[in-house]
């Protein structure tokens, strides 16, 4: 006889998958936390032990992206200008998302369909910008250059990500990021 563990392992992972599946099927509002928990075979209380709130289950992985970006900014050559460092960091996320394209699409569709989820996504992006600004200051960049570079960089990422997700020509994310940054440079130079 296998010694049966008291609980199935990875309840957190099961909760995450159940949530995305149910949100995609019936929508965020029409899915209760109790249903997600039941689908994952745990109690509602356990859901809230793993995720601070119902929305957070879709954003638990955002720490990875943050680490990726910050590390890349820090690793950029000393000679790189602030915007060059941020640009390099953004482009370096290409493979990360390229590997998870289907997941990213489904998740993004769920988020786009719900205002509360869009709110949460925005604050994650803002946190990202703030962390990026910190990393730039560590490189010796002063204010307001650090904040503005970070904010502009995130704006570029958002625009590029949306274009990538909906791009019928399936251009690579890194490439779309490069093109979007060039477009930003063009409009700011015109002012």
> Which of 84, 104, 106, 139 touches a second copy by CB under 8 A?
84
**Length of the chain as a residue count:** 191
Residue 88 interaction partner, one of DNA, a second copy, none, beta carbon < 5-8 Å per kind: none
Residue 21 interaction partner, one of DNA, a second copy, none, beta carbon < 5-8 Å per kind: none
Largest CA distance in the chain: 74
Residue among 122, 139, 147, 109 nearest 23 (CA)? 109
Q: Is 114 helix (H, G, I), strand (E, B) or coil?
A: coil
Rule CB under 7 A: which of 49-108 touch DNA?
A: 49-50, 52-55
Rule CB under 8 A: which of 103-122 touch a second copy?
A: 115, 118-120, 122
179: tokens are 């093109």
Contact call for residue 174 and a second copy (CB under 8 A): no
What gap in Å lies between CA 124 and CA 174, rounded to an integer? 21
Residue 32 interaction partner, one of a second copy, DNA, none, beta carbon < 5-8 Å per kind: DNA
Classify burial at 15, counting beta carbons within 10 Å of its beta carbon; exposed 0-12, middle 13-18, buried 19 or more: buried
Contact positions vs a second copy (CB under 8 A): 81-84, 87, 115, 118-120, 122-123, 126, 144-145, 147-149, 151-152, 155-156, 158-159, 163, 180-181, 183-191
């Amino acid at each position: 006889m296998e010694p049966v563990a008291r609980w199935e392992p990875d309840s957190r992972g099961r909760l995450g998958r159940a949530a995305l599946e149910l949100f995609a099927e019936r929508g965020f509002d029409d899915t209760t936390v109790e249903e997600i928990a039941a689908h994952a075979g745990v109690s509602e209380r356990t859901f809230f032990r793993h995720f601070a709130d119902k929305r957070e289950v879709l954003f638990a992985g955002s720490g990875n992206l943050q680490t990726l970006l910050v590390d890349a900014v820090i690793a950029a050559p000393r000679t790189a200008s602030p915007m060059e460092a941020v640009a390099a960091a953004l482009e370096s996320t290409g493979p990360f998302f390229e590997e998870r394209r289907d997941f990213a699409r489904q998740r993004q569709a769920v988020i786009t369909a719900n205002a509360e989820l869009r709110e949460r996504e925005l604050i994650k992006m803002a946190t990202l910008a703030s962390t990026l600004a910190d990393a730039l200051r560590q490189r010796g960049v002063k204010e307001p250059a650090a904040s503005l570079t970070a904010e502009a960089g995130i704006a570029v990422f958002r625009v590029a990500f949306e274009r990538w997700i909906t791009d019928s020509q399936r251009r690579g994310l890194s490439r779309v990021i490069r093109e979007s940054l060039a477009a930003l440079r063009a409009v700011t130079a015109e002012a």
